[in-house]
Amino acid sequence: MKKHIYMVSTALVIGMAAPVAAQDDFAGFSEGILAMLGSQGADISYDARNVGADGSVEFIGFSMISPDGMSSVQADWIKGVPSASTPGQVTFTLSPSASFSFTDSETGEHIINISNSGLVATLDGITSGQDAEVLNFSVVANSLGFTSGNPNDTVLKALDVTFSDLNQTVAFSPASKLLRAEFGVSLLNLIYDLTPPDGTQMASNGQVVDLQAAVQIIADDNERNFIDYLSGATTAFIEMSAGISTATAKMLSPEARIAYSASSASTNIELRAENGRLDYALEGGRAEYSFTEININGTPIPPFDMAIDEAAMKLSMPTVSDGTFEEANAVIAMRGVQLSESLYEMFDPGQQISRDPINAVVDISANVMPKIDWNNPDAAFGSGNPDDIAEVQDITINEVLFTAGGAEITAEGGAVIDNSMGFPFPTGKVTITAAGIQALANGLVAIGLIPQDQAGMMMGAMMAFARPGEVADEFISDIEFSPQGITANGVPLPM
């Protein structure tokens, strides 16, 4: 017969005793915690409670129901073992199967089954040792899974999430509130099928190989933390990487029906503020998408495929001045975008437009000197003068590339910035080369996307400020900046 825990003053006193009295008495501490939960209305029960010679506590047939009766946790067994060497540190293990359930007034009962192989969680500062310089928490498991357990669930129709070779660590410094966490799995399998009460269906079946993540932040809600990150007083970062990823997904609602499959070779994300610099990078390897159904507000789009060889977005810049100009860099790039013929056929069945891959790349660098006083940043951002934020010495175009429909536009060059005039003024030259523009314009006219007169006006404007290149259908324009004004191939541009 199960033993139910009731609020008893003796157990409560033990559980709430000062660390001196409860020094590493995990058995007494756990008894007091359960009593405290019971006093708040939780229904806690177990078949047996075993206390080992090492101070460990094991609950057999453990069950806890929330005070409102709307949620519960059940496990075949839970065991905690206090460390013999680290005060306040306790290692927990869980039976291979457990469950969590909750009841919603609108959607009924939802059950999540929890399975694991080799799950071990270690937590500092349980019974004592809360004054340690750093508190640590770690979870490792050969596998950890979550599955739906109610076959009659009308909302959570399917759930199967499995983490393989899970390794998670968290370190927290109570004095500084500095939190650092790392997470990694060799394989994440994810299957879900959700149908909320509004009738929308969201479902996916996918996996991610070698998923890794790390984060370091100040773990409180002080807005000053962001100033400390940018001023270099504190290092903060978010990092994530993933190997090969695949997914098949759908979203069905009265407004939209979308179904697709996707795969990607790799993904890397980093956001870091350290030593007076801010760096952000989002990079993805080759990705392929196959849309089998797209219907937005009753407008269908034929099934089509899309592939991207490379996608990137980067920003690197100094946020604190050391008295010298430092390099800043911004990159936006999508290379090798390919669309299937079924999409082109919607507007160009006669193949008037080239199907060559689409590219869009902008890569610009500059030497800058930050001028923000991080003790009073509003003075710089609120002045309306960009020179109060940073001084720019020069700008260099590393690469500008746009290709679509057989046309290609490139740019190269740079400028030196004169800040002595009260506002930044560039002096330099940018050479823009456009090839295949006439052929693209003719193709757009042929398929009826633009009228002939507008295409003629566009080409006339280009010829007015560009010179012919060395090959047919190529135009070059040298855009020069100087105190005398801006010219294109020597022709002044209207200001």
What ranges do the domains of the chain cover? 406-495
Among 248, 242, 140, CA closest to 192 = 248
* Reported pTM: 0.87
198 in Cβ contact with 176 (< 8 Å): no
Distance CA 219, CA 199 (A): 38
pLDDT > 90? residue 275: yes
Three-state DSSP state, 134: coil
Please say whether the beta carbons of 196 and 110 come within 8 A. Answer: no
22 has a pLDDT exceeding 60: no
CA 410, CA 415: separation in Å to the nearest integer? 17
Name the amino acid, one letter, at 346. M
Percent of the chain with pLDDT over 70: 95
The Cα angle at residue 242 between residues 306 and 112, in degrees rounded to 5: 100
For residue 49, give both structure tokens.
């409670």
The SS3 call for residue 3 is strand
- Region of poorest pLDDT, from 162-166, 233-237, 469-473: 469-473
CA distances (Å), origin 102, targets 38, 65, 160, 407, 439: 19, 10, 17, 58, 63
What tokens appear for 177 in the block?
A: 């509130």
pLDDT band at 1 (very low <50, low <70, confident <90, very high): very low
Maximum pairwise Cα distance, the chain: 97
Instruction: Provide the pLDDT for residue 449.
Output: 83
Please list the alpha-helical segments (H only) found in 180-223.
none
Contact criterion met (CB below 8 Å) for 170 and 213: no
Q: Give CA angle at 256 (251, 261), nearest 5°.
A: 40
Count of helix runs (H) and strand runs (E) in the chain: 7, 31
- 490: confidence class by pLDDT, cuts 50, 70, 90: confident
> Taking a C-beta distance cutoff of 8 angstroms, is the pair 42, 26 a contact?
no
365, with CB counted inside 10 A (0-12, 13-18, 19+), is middle
Mean pLDDT for the stretch of residues 58-66: 97
What are 157's two structure tokens?
Answer: 């129709």
Contact 22, 127 (CB under 8 A): yes
Angle, in degrees to the nearest 10, between helices 437-446 and 452-464: 170
pLDDT score, position 441: 85
CA 178 to chain centre: 21
pLDDT tens readout for residues 353-393: 999 999 999 999 999 999 999 999 988 888 878 888 999 99
Q: Looking at residue 238, what is its pLDDT?
A: 98
Q: How does DSSP classify residue 53? A: T
Q: Following DSSP, what letter does each residue of 391-404 receive, concatenated?
A: EEEEEEEEEEEEEE
Contact indicator for 141, 114 with CB cutoff of 8 Å: no
Q: What is the pLDDT of residue 18?
A: 35
pLDDT of amino acid 447 = 87
State the DSSP code for 243.
Answer: -
Report the alpha-carbon distance of residue 42 to residue 459 in Å, rounded: 77
Q: Which of 170, 167, 155 is nearest to 124 (CA)?
A: 170
In terms of Cβ atoms closer than 10 Å to its own Cβ (0-12, 13-18, 19+), residue 274 is middle
Provide the terminal-to-terminal Cα distance of the chain, rounded to the nearest Å: 90
Structure tokens at 317: 């810049």
Q: Residue 212 has what pLDDT? A: 98
Compute the mean pLDDT over every residue in the chain, rounded to the nearest whole number. 90
Report residue 21's pLDDT band, with 50, 70 and 90 as the boundaries. very low
Give the integer Cα–Cα distance in Å for 386 and 247: 45
Closest CA to 45 of 8, 75, 7, 2: 2
Mean pLDDT computed over 270-297: 96
Alpha helices in 154-238 (DSSP H): 224-231
* Dist CA 126 CA 29 (whole Å): 9
Distance of alpha carbon 478 from alpha carbon 429, whole angstroms: 7
Shortest CA distance to 178 belongs to which of 223, 212, 148, 133? 133
Which residues 6+ apart lie within 8 Å of 154 measured at CB?
107, 108, 195
